């Protein structure tokens, strides 16, 4: 996968597919089905409530993705970059709505950082790292959309 294709795929994962060509779906998603839209659709209460007993909350997924995208972008800039020293995403929930909103901003910034890193000259390991990060984000976006869909179905 080329850096150009990786950038286009990342944009789709973050924002949903580009529908200029008349298609109703993209490689990973449908219209308006990007990661950022799904995450922003969750209320604070929905985000911090686990999907089921023993399962992580949506906030945990968002924090995990922010950390993962940040680290992937850092690795593309410096293959020896270390992960930030932060709480384990799966066990952490933002204690306030303001901190939840901050995580949403951080997620968008992490996506942008990875997008910008995809303009760097990448060797085969860098391409694998970028590809894995984009696929990982697509996987968790699907999980968030599924959780959000269940919440919305329960309200109707």
3-state secondary structure of 34: coil
16 dihedral zone (left: phi>0; alpha: psi -120 to 50; beta): left
Residue 142: HSE in the Cβ half-sphere, 13 Å Cα cutoff? 8
Mean pLDDT of the chain: 89
What is the C-alpha to C-alpha distance for residues 40 and 54, in angstroms, rounded to an integer? 24
pLDDT category, 52, cuts 50, 70, 90? confident
Top-confidence residue, 56 or 87: 56
**Which of 16-20, 48-52, 65-69, 119-123 has the weakest average pLDDT?**
16-20
| Overall fold of domain 3-150 | 1.20.120
Quote the pLDDT of residue 73.
Answer: 97
Domain ranges of the chain: 3-150
């Amino acid at each position: 996968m080329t850096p150009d294709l990786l950038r286009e795929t990342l944009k789709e994962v973050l924002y949903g597919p580009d529908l200029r060509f008349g298609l109703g779906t993209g490689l990973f998603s449908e219209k308006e089905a990007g990661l950022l839209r799904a995450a922003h659709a969750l209320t604070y209460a929905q985000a911090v409530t686990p999907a089921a007993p023993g399962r992580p909350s949506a906030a945990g997924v968002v924090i995990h993705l922010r950390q993962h995208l940040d680290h992937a972008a850092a690795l593309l800039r410096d293959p020896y970059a270390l992960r930030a020293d932060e709480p384990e995403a799966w066990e952490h929930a933002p204690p306030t709505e303001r901190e939840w909103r901050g995580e949403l901003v951080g997620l968008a910034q992490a996506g942008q950082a990875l997008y910008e890193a995809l303009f760097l000259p990448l060797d085969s390991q860098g391409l694998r790292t970028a590809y894995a990060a984009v696929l990982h984000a697509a996987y968790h976006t699907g999980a968030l959309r599924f959780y959000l869909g269940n919440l919305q179905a329960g309200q109707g």
